[in-house]
Structure 1
Amino acid sequence: MDLADDLPAGPGPVPTPRQAPPLDPELAAVLERLGPTAREPVTPENLGARQERDAAARPRPTVRQLRDGGRFEAEELRVPGPPNAPDVTLVAARPAGIAGPLPLLYYLHGGGMITGNAWSVLPRILREWAEPLGPAVVSAEYRLAPGARYPAAVEDCYAGLLWVAAHAADLGVDPDRIVIGGKSAGGGLAAALALLTRDRRGPRPAGQLLMCPMLDDRNDTVSSHPRPASTPGTGYPTRRRGRHCSATGTAPPTCLPMRPPARAADLSGLPPAYLDVGSAETLRDEAAAYAQGIWQAGGQAELHVWPGAFHGFDTLAPAAALSRDARDARTRWLRRVLART
């Protein structure tokens, strides 16, 4: 399938461009050292090269490597996929030697819905959350655009979640203590999954952890059109969002919740949500609007807008003070949610 064939006719109404907020000095210095490659837009012409480069930058660890000398238990699982679709691969891991049933973080990787994999995110998640907090982790390998159109990725994630909940005893996890989460594209998929499992009366998650989530395909917020567009850490995610748009197609919004989460008319009945985003990135306004929609529907949402942060700042600059603060805030929220269930 040609990527250009997947692109929508065009974005919605474009707001008046405004000056993007200044970058945090420590983060700006990191971007400067990375150079223009970190801001290169994704286009149909360079998609293949970008996928190869991203794959090289995110090496896929083996199951043996994930076990880290016995610190963790890890295995790959092939489970039934959506109707008339391929099986879904899940990568399951947990701290070694801890008796179950454990709470579970069901994690969906980022990568703009065109790159990334279920394996490469696990070492960080195991180190930051599984070891100190004790949950098991299942990372889902969903189909990517442009080879698969939305909602294929959401359906893959839902099929995996159904299997995990049905086989919780075999996995040694508690089906009533499942938190779904993800970053960037994975955050958007986690939000869509929360809507889908609510409407299909599937497993009810205990919470949803949405980190710089891609929630909208319309590009009609002020933050989605910053000035200047080449500002480090702001223009780059806009182009990556185009791949998200290419995956969503142009079906009318009445197809909810299989449209992007920001188009959902009803945000009631969702599990408690954590959302964080940078003030200097294109996804800022849709994350804030989504949190407000949850509040207005009577739900719980904790929103953090990190001042001067760009998209994926904590990945590109993990040692920065703002990155450490963001990780600490997420961990505190996850600890609270797991303690309440």
Structure 2
Amino acid sequence: MTKLQEDPRIDPSIKKMFGDFCQPARADVSSRDEMLAQLQSLEGAAALANEAAFFRSTASEEIAPSTGLTIRTETFVSSPDGNTVKILFMRPEGDEVLPCVYYTHGGGMVYLSAFDDNYQAWGRIIASQGVAIAMADFRNALLPSSAREVAPFPAGLNDSVSGLRWVHDNAASLGIDSDRLIIGGDSGGGNLALATAMKLNRDGDVHRIKGVYSLCPFIAGKWPLPENPSSIENADIFISINSNCTTHGYGMEAFERQDPLAWPSFAKEDDVKGLPLVVININECDPLRDEGLNFYRFLRGAGVPARCRQMMGTVHATEVFPGCAPDVSYNTANDIAYLARTGR
């Protein structure tokens, strides 16, 4: 029996959906190339296929209907590399100018795609709250998204920042209000949401966003850490992170130089002063819970407007797997839309 099934805190509907699924633990690696070789092995490919099948099973038209939505794909050219990136764009039908959520998907910055079934369903749920959503399919560091090139930091961040600027600049043609544009994301996408906001802040461009909504942010770069007790308490509940694999995959050099644009837990006050309201959404039974909580406390101490909400009985990124706990997905989507509409 998995730790998820054994834990009395976890919602029974989540246990039912997960069954015996759990990400396999990984041993430390010595380089990004070694991590790539692991993923490309027969064992690695089988584990990824099993994970993809589970993620697909959590999404359906019944739970997240497309009725009443306009859904299309946009593209932009990313700077400074000149690569083309796709955006999955969804909005309620009609001509009303809407607030917009610019969203970066999870996957530790190294894999998954905005076009995966569960992310499409999650996007439909957010759009059903009366806002537009632009889901950027940035370059992953290890496995392709719809962007076939894979590259380590700062490729994904470059794409995320470029996409945000593109959405803001093209607000009129998208039918969105450029003054009500927020950035959001979960897990690795929660990292990118925070890092993108800090990069815009550093570049004097933070006026383009009215808020940041980071779900279960994956921002420490090292696990476990004593200052984040959940990295020990909740280890191996659904996700297995207590190795250096993702850090090597995305940016070990950036971790060693403590670059906050790669690993936002390294941020200093000057990196965040000037940000708009930041919402941190955490899951009770997630190894990443406390790095999100501690970042919220850091923001408050730095004088940044911030709020934090914890979804009890949930595991890492429950919201983006709508079949696990649809009420949780819809509740959080409503809060994201509230931030987009009001900036509060």
TM-score by length of 1: 0.78
Instruction: In structure 2, give the amino acid aligned to 1:80.
Output: V
CA shift in 2, pair 1:241/1:273, >3 Å:
farther
Residue 184 of structure 1: which of 184, 187, 207 is its match? 187
Cα pair 2:10 2:313 within 8 Å, conserved: no
CA drift of 1:202 comes to 2.4
Opposite residue 199 of structure 1, the aligned amino acid is R
- CA shift, 1:317, in A, is 7.4
**CA separation in 2, counterparts of 1:56 and 1:318?**
13
Say which of 96, 100, 123 aligns to 1:99. Answer: 96
* Counterpart position of 1:76: 73
Q: Does 1:150 align with 2:153?
A: yes
Q: C-alpha separation between the residues in 1 aligned to 2:84 and 2:336?
A: 33
- Cα distance in 1 for partners of 2:320, 2:86 equals 25
Residue 212 (structure 2) aligned to one of 208, 215, 225: 208
Match of 1:124 in 2: 122
Match for 2:275: what amino acid? L
Indicate which of 130, 135, 144 corresponds to 2:131: 135
The answer as to 2:45 corresponding to 1:48 is yes
Q: Which moved more, 1:177-186 or 1:253-262?
A: 253-262
CA distance in 2, matches of 1:168, 1:249: 36
The Cα offsets for residues 113-132 of structure 1, whole Å up to 9 and x where unpaired, read as 23321223133222x33223
Aligned match of 1:198: 201
| 1:34-72, Cα deviation, whole Å (9 max, x unpaired) | 34432422562544333334444456x9xxxx9946x22
Letter in 2 for 1:210: S
TM-score, L = length of structure 2: 0.77
Aligned residue among 318, 324, 338 for 1:313: 318
CA deviations on 1:278-315 (whole Å, 9 max, x unpaired) are: 23321112111110111011111111233443213345
Instruction: Say if 2:298 is the partner of 1:293.
Output: yes
Give a deviation string over 1:160-189, Cα, whole Å, max 9, x none: 111111111111111111110011111111
Aligned residue pairs total 308
Q: CA RMSD in A?
A: 3.2
In 2, Cα distance between the equivalents of 1:142 and 1:86? 10
Query: Which digits, 9 at most, give the CA deviation of each residue in 1:240-293, with x for residues without a partner?
Result: 884255302223666744331111112211121111212332111211111011
C-alpha distance in 1 between matches for 2:89 and 2:211: 19
Query: 1:26 and 1:55, CA in 2 relative to 1: closer, same or farther beyond 3 A?
Result: closer
CA distance in 1, matches of 2:229, 2:109: 20
C-alpha separation in 2, matches of 1:162 and 1:25 = 41
SS in 2 for 1:76: strand
Match of 1:238 in 2: 241
Q: Following TM superposition, by how much is the alpha carbon of 1:30 offset from its aligned partner in structure 2, in angstroms?
A: 3.9
Which deviates the most, 268-277 or 309-318?
309-318
Identity %: 24
Does the 8 A contact of 1:54 with 1:116 survive in 2? no
Deviation at 1:141, TM superposition (A): 0.5
Query: Which position in structure 2 is the counterpart of 1:10?
Result: none
Aligned 8 A contact 2:139 2:156 in 1: yes
Answer whether contact 2:91 2:127 (CA < 8 A) is retained.
Answer: yes
* Aligned residue in 2 for 1:273: 278
Paired with 1:302 and 1:193, the residues of 2 have a C-alpha distance of 19
Mapped partners of 1:93, 1:192: distance in 2: 24
The answer as to whether partners of 1:180 and 1:190 remain within 8 angstroms in 2 is yes
Matched with 1:14 is none
Displacement after TM superposition at 1:25 (Å) = 4.4
Name the CA shift for 1:57/1:174 in 2 (closer, same or farther; >3 Å).
Answer: same
Equivalent position of 2:87 in the other structure: 90
Give, in whole Å, the separation in 2 of the partners of 1:241 and 1:144.
17
